[in-house]
A = this chain, B = another copy of it.
Amino acid sequence: MRNLALLAVGASLVLAAAPAAAQTVNQDISASTAAVRDAALKDPTAWDIAESLTTEIGPRLVGSPAMDRARDWGVETLKRLGFQNVKVETFTASGWFRGEESAEVVGPYPHKLHILGLGGSSSTPKGGLTAEVALFRTYEEMLAQPEGALKGKIAVVTGVMTRAQDGSGYGAINAQRSQGPVEAAKRGAVAYLIRSLSTDDTRLPHAGGARPGGIPAAALSTPDADLLERMVARGKPVTLKLAMTSRYEAKVPAYNISGELPGTDPDAGVLIVGGHLDSWDAGTGAVDDAAGIAITTAAAKLAAGQGPLRRTIRVVMWGSEEQGGSSEAYLAAHKDEVGRMVVVGESDSGAGRIWTIRLPQAGRDHVAMKAFRAAVAPLNAIVSREAPRFGGADVSGLIQAGAPFVEFEQDASRYFDLHHSADDTLDKIDPAELSQNVAVWAAFLHAAAASDVDFRAKP
A contact set with B: CB distance below 8 Å: 51, 54-58, 66, 108-111, 114, 201-204, 222-223, 226-227, 230-231, 234, 283-284, 421-423, 425-428
Bound together, the chains give a CA A294 to CA B211 distance in angstroms of 44
Q: Across the interface, do A55 and B231 meet the contact criterion of CB distance under 8 Å?
A: yes
- CB neighbours (8 Å) of A428 from chain B are 201
CA distance A427 to B230 in the complex (A): 11
Given contacts A230-B55, A283-B203, whether A422 and B109 have CB atoms under 8 Å apart is: no
22 interchain pairs, CB-CB under 8 A = A55-B227, A55-B230, A56-B108, A56-B109, A57-B109, A58-B109, A58-B110, A58-B111, A66-B110, A201-B423, A202-B204, A203-B204, A203-B422, A203-B423, A222-B427, A223-B425, A223-B427, A226-B425, A226-B426, A227-B284, A227-B425, A230-B426
Which of A108, A223, A428 has the most chain B CB atoms inside 10 A of its CB?
A223
CB distance from A346 to the nearest CB of B (A): 26
CB-nearest residue of chain B relative to A233?
A: B55
Give this chain's copy count.
Answer: 2
CB distance from A35 to the nearest CB of B (A): 32
CB distance from A395 to the nearest CB of B (A): 30
B residues in contact with A66, CB < 8 Å: 110
Known: A58-B110, A109-B57. A426 touches B203 (CB 8 A): no
User: Closest Cβ of chain B: how far from A213's Cβ, in Å?
Assistant: 28
CB-CB < 8 A to A203: which residues of B? 202, 204, 283, 421-423, 425
A107 nearest CB across to chain B (Å):
11
Chain B residue numbers with a CB within 8 Å of A230 are 51, 55, 426
Closest beta carbon of chain B to A428's beta carbon, Å: 7
A114-B226 CB under 8 A given contacts A55-B109, A109-B58: no
In the bound complex, CA of A226 to CA of B427 (Å): 8
Across the interface, name the chain B residue whose C-beta is closest to A58.
B111
Provide the residues of chain B in CB contact with A425, threshold 8 Å. 203, 223, 226-227
Considering the complex, give the chain B residue whose CB is closest to the CB of A54: B227
Seed contacts A204-B204, A223-B425, A223-B427; 17 additional CB < 8 Å A-B pairs: A54-B227, A55-B227, A55-B231, A58-B109, A58-B110, A201-B427, A202-B203, A202-B204, A202-B423, A203-B283, A203-B421, A203-B425, A222-B427, A226-B425, A227-B425, A227-B426, A230-B426
